[in-house]
A and B are shown apart, each in its own frame.
Chain A
Amino acid sequence: MEVDTQFVKDVVGFGGKTLKKCYQCATCSVVCPQSPEEAPFPRKEMIWAQWGLKDKLIKDGDVWLCHQCNDCSEYCPRGAKPGEVLGAIRAKVIQELAFPNFFAKILMKPAGIVVYFAIPIILTLLYLSIASPKIPEGEIVIGNFIPHLHIELAGFLVGGWALLVAAIGAYRFWSGINSEVSKVYEYRLGENAELEVVKASPRFIECLFWSIIDILKHSRFAECGTARYRYFAHFMIFWGFIILGIATLGDIVYLYGLGVEELALPPTDPVKIIGNIGAILLIAGSLWAIVARFSDERVGYGTYFDWLFLGTIFAVGLTGVGIEALRYTGSAAAYYMYLAHLVLVFTLIAYAPYSKFAHLLYRTLAYTWAKSVGREPQQ
């Protein structure tokens, strides 16, 4: 077991500044609505983080079962805010799992925002100088400015990159939480009192299926007390994304199934209606989260890592709706808004494995792992 003092400093820097106040009374493990009976969290994570046991935390599925309800922080007698500390640990773990590691480190520093925007802006400028698209005259039609094919190609490239990096992270994470180190209890008593090794793999598909159902329903979030709003806000953002995904599929069907040549759809078009519902959910949900964090420190004060992700989602939603509004008013500014939107969408997708977006992956895997080893909270 290795002690990594830099890890402790990083967790403190990523928003776990109250970490060292913890005196291990374990109030948190009991008031947490998500915590299982055996080896409950977050008390053990608090001491692991205090001691700099990086390896244990990287291989700990439990930090991903935490939804930062902050019931623990509310009842913590020391103001150690385990909810915030676990959020910081997750940020640090995302950084550790991401490939290449140095790139993750750059992006997670506030100064890294230069790189964060420089890459897509340079790429966009490069594209503009090579393809030199002209601002079209007359009716605003985005496809006349930058062809759909180009966007699709770029999408495949950026998405492919993100998937590749995510796959590396997923592999590292999954092998970590299933390794010896991660197992808080390595054996459990079988039916005939023989010891069974707790292993995750055999029921992977089944557990993954039910985990996805849980995620779609947000059933874990629904247990939250103090940060109850997060259940609703996250639900809106999450379903906003899914509905926008459905709308995008609709666009693809229009383009390649029905042979529609241009996607400048009127507001009454069913696909446009679906898209707008998704966008409204996305904007409203992220706005709610932003306002809640500003107005009530108990629900989490957020860190650069959180704000960057939340801000990007909000800005993507806002610019998306902005293009649409400008298009309907006939303003050519829609094209410039479109460029800003592309830059933001790039940051959202390309950096997903390095940003808070990665929680989607690790949480889903942690849910699956938790189900397979029986780490469900007792109702």
Chain B
Amino acid sequence: MAGEILVIGGGISGLTAAIEAAETGYDVILVEKNPYLGGRVSQLNKYFPKLCPPFCGLEILFKRMKSTPKLKYFTNAEVQEISGEPGNFTVKVKIKPRYVNENCTACGACKEVCPIEAPDEYNFGLKKKKAIDLPNIMAMPFQYYIDDNYCDKCGECVSACKYNAIDLNEEEKELTLNVSSIIVATGWKPYDATKLDNLGYGVYKNVITNMEMERLASPNGPTGGVIQTLDGKPIETIAFVQCAGSRDENHLPYCSAVCCLASLKQATYVREQYPDAKIYIFYIDIRAFGRYEDFFAKVKADENIELIKGKVAKVEEVDGKLVVTAEDTLSGVKSKKEVDMVVLATGMQPAIEPIPGIELDEYGFVKAKPGIIPVGVAAMPMEVASANESATAAALKAIQLARR
């Protein structure tokens, strides 16, 4: 089987790398930890550069993937160990049971009878799911899955399923792959905002993260796309807190690259739904690189969006209202704003857990070495467009090894 290319991670970078390589005629195996493909981008409401909904880009990729017989993929699959050398790696992969096979038509009968409710991590717990559920509205593969953390194997779903698609006795499998090169596209996770003890996350209900905001704004999110406080009230004032954990030696010492643009984008989400809402964006520096400067200028032109230069270092609740405090460094006066909701622009942390055979740098990003090619945010913080470019470039690198 030598010659195959392994891609770890089925987010937008991994998908791109896998498809680009497979379309040139090489055998590609893609493994994804989650029960679905699409990764973080699928959780967004809209994404840069064109502010499309994720359906747009991801569905094109899924379609290309389906028409490329050279590409095989496994979900619920985690790489355990990598050994060998460029051109000849041995990779151990563990495939956790999904308990639902391809007979599934996603009719939903199982979900209706399932007695167990659980927090839906895909929606950051803003919504409940059942122990058997569809991962998300655009899941690929479009099959239900059982969450082992919550399911008690009561068997209700098995009797409800008309298609014989559920097997509660399915067992964990192990695969050993022999591949020529490995593209690491393990992506990122949001920084744990509870560690920012002065910003009130986890203490005050309406202090949320930027990824939670994406889910709130998303039409398939917990509120059906209505942006509101977590007590269900409309937004009159909202504050975005930049560098929540990023560029901070106590948390993430690097700039997460995308959070400024994410907040500017989310300000437009709020504006679309609330023409008069007052929006405050507290920042150290606005980093809207390259052509995104235009987007920044457009958002800045909105009279009801106030950009305040100064990092929010205190979030309090006073008489049921959230109050954020920063020093406006341009005027040298403390700026206190009373708001309905606070959005922490939390940064990106590498999602990869240590795997023997993959080297990580001091921050946990994947180091490139011969035959092991990190792409997207596995390599460093970047936005989708750059991630895709790095993925396409990685496909070429992988092909070079596969041809030897």
Chain A contacts to B: CB under 8 angstroms: 23-31, 35, 37-40, 43-44, 75-79, 184-185
Q: Which residues of A contact B334 (CB under 8 A)?
A: 29-30, 35, 37-38, 40
> B313: which of A31, A78, A79 is its contact (CB, 8 Å)?
A31
Q: Which residues of B contact A35 (CB under 8 A)?
A: 334
Q: Which residues of B contact A185 (CB under 8 A)?
A: 332
Taking A23-B284, A26-B310, A77-B247 as contacts, is the C-beta distance between A44 and B332 under 8 angstroms?
Answer: yes
Taking A30-B334, A37-B333 as contacts, is the C-beta distance between A77 and B327 under 8 angstroms?
Answer: no
Query: How many A-B residue pairs lie within 8 Å, measured between CB atoms?
Result: 64
| CB interface residues, B 304-344, toward A, < 8 Å | 310-314, 325-327, 329, 332-334
Bound Cα distance from A241 to B332, whole angstroms: 39
Q: Which residues of A contact B312 (CB under 8 A)?
A: 30
**A184, B329: Cβ atoms closer than 8 Å:** no
List 18 A-B pairs, Cβ < 8 Å.
A24-B284, A25-B284, A25-B311, A26-B310, A26-B313, A26-B327, A28-B313, A29-B334, A30-B311, A30-B313, A30-B325, A30-B326, A30-B334, A37-B334, A40-B327, A40-B332, A44-B332, A77-B248
Bound Cα distance from A64 to B284, whole angstroms: 27
Any A CB within 8 A of the CB of B243: yes
Bound Cα distance from A239 to B251, whole angstroms: 40
Any A CB within 8 A of the CB of B67: no
Any A CB within 8 A of the CB of B103: no
Contact size range, B: 20 to 34
Nearest-CB residue, chain A, relative to B328: A26
**B310, A77: Cβ atoms closer than 8 Å:** no
Any A CB within 8 A of the CB of B353: no
Nearest-CB residue, chain A, relative to B325: A30
Shortest distance between the CB of B274 and any CB in chain A (Å) = 27
Shortest distance between the CB of A62 and any CB in chain B (Å) = 11
Any A CB within 8 A of the CB of B198: yes
**A29, B198: Cβ atoms closer than 8 Å:** no
> A30: which of B247, B251, B314 is its contact (CB, 8 Å)?
B314
Bound Cα distance from A23 to B309, whole angstroms: 12
Q: Which residues of B contact A39 (CB under 8 A)?
A: 332-333
Q: Which residues of A contact B243 (CB under 8 A)?
A: 25, 77
Bound Cα distance from A37 to B326, whole angstroms: 10
Contacts A30-B311, A78-B249 given; 18 further ones with Cβ under 8 A?
A: A23-B284, A26-B326, A29-B313, A29-B334, A30-B310, A30-B312, A30-B313, A30-B325, A39-B333, A40-B332, A40-B334, A43-B329, A75-B250, A76-B249, A77-B248, A77-B251, A78-B248, A79-B249
Bound Cα distance from A24 to B334, whole angstroms: 14
Nearest-CB residue, chain A, relative to B253: A77
Q: Which residues of B contact A77 (CB under 8 A)?
A: 243, 247-251, 311
Interface SS of A by simple majority: loop
> B198: which of A23, A25, A40, A75 is its contact (CB, 8 Å)?
A75
Q: Which of A25, A76, A79 has the most CB atoms of chain B within a 10 A radius of its CB?
A: A25
Shortest distance between the CB of B294 and any CB in chain A (Å) = 26
Taking A75-B250, A79-B249 as contacts, is the C-beta distance between A27 and B332 under 8 angstroms?
Answer: no
Nearest-CB residue, chain A, relative to B249: A79
Bound Cα distance from A27 to B249, whole angstroms: 13
Q: Which residues of A contact B251 (CB under 8 A)?
A: 77
Taking A23-B284, A26-B310, A27-B313 as contacts, is the C-beta distance between A38 and B329 under 8 angstroms?
Answer: no
Question: Digit string of B249-281 for contact with A (CB within 8 Å is 1, else 0)?
Answer: 111000000000000000000000000000000
**B313, A43: Cβ atoms closer than 8 Å:** no
- List 9 tightest A-B contacts by C-beta distance, closest first: A30-B313, A77-B248, A26-B327, A25-B311, A29-B327, A27-B313, A25-B284, A26-B310, A37-B334
Bound Cα distance from A30 to B198, whole angstroms: 10
Nearest-CB residue, chain B, relative to A72: B313
Bound Cα distance from A78 to B249, whole angstroms: 6
Taking A25-B243, A26-B311 as contacts, is the C-beta distance between A38 and B248 under 8 angstroms?
Answer: no
**B198, A38: Cβ atoms closer than 8 Å:** no
Nearest-CB residue, chain B, relative to A26: B327
Taking A23-B284, A25-B243, A37-B334 as contacts, is the C-beta distance between A75 and B313 under 8 angstroms?
Answer: yes
**B327, A43: Cβ atoms closer than 8 Å:** yes
Q: Which residues of B contact A37 (CB under 8 A)?
A: 333-334
Bound Cα distance from A24 to B325, whole angstroms: 15
Bound Cα distance from A99 to B195, whole angstroms: 49
Q: Which residues of B contact A26 (CB under 8 A)?
A: 310-311, 313, 326-327, 329
**A24, B329: Cβ atoms closer than 8 Å:** yes
Q: Which residues of A contact B329 (CB under 8 A)?
A: 24, 26, 43
Q: Which residues of A contact B311 (CB under 8 A)?
A: 25-27, 30, 77
Bound Cα distance from A29 to B327, whole angstroms: 7
Q: Which residues of B contact A30 (CB under 8 A)?
A: 310-314, 325-327, 334
Nearest-CB residue, chain A, relative to B332: A39
**A38, B333: Cβ atoms closer than 8 Å:** yes
Q: Which of B251, B326, B334 has the most CB atoms of chain A within a 10 A radius of its CB?
A: B334
Bound Cα distance from A235 to B249, whole angstroms: 33
Bound Cα distance from A28 to B311, whole angstroms: 9
Bound Cα distance from A78 to B311, whole angstroms: 13
**A184, B332: Cβ atoms closer than 8 Å:** yes
Shortest distance between the CB of B311 and any CB in chain A (Å) = 4
Taking A77-B247, A77-B249 as contacts, is the C-beta distance between A31 and B314 under 8 angstroms?
Answer: yes
Q: Which residues of A contact B314 (CB under 8 A)?
A: 30-31
**A31, B332: Cβ atoms closer than 8 Å:** no
Q: Which residues of A contact B250 (CB under 8 A)?
A: 75, 77
**A38, B332: Cβ atoms closer than 8 Å:** yes
Shortest distance between the CB of A368 and any CB in chain B (Å) = 23
Nearest-CB residue, chain A, relative to B285: A23
Shortest distance between the CB of A34 and any CB in chain B (Å) = 13
Q: Which residues of B contact A23 (CB under 8 A)?
A: 247, 284
Nearest-CB residue, chain B, relative to A36: B334
Question: Digit string of B136-178 for contact with A (CB within 8 Å is 1, else 0)?
Answer: 0000000000000000000000000000000000000000000
Bound Cα distance from A44 to B310, whole angstroms: 12
Bound Cα distance from A165 to B312, whole angstroms: 43
Bound Cα distance from A58 to B311, whole angstroms: 27
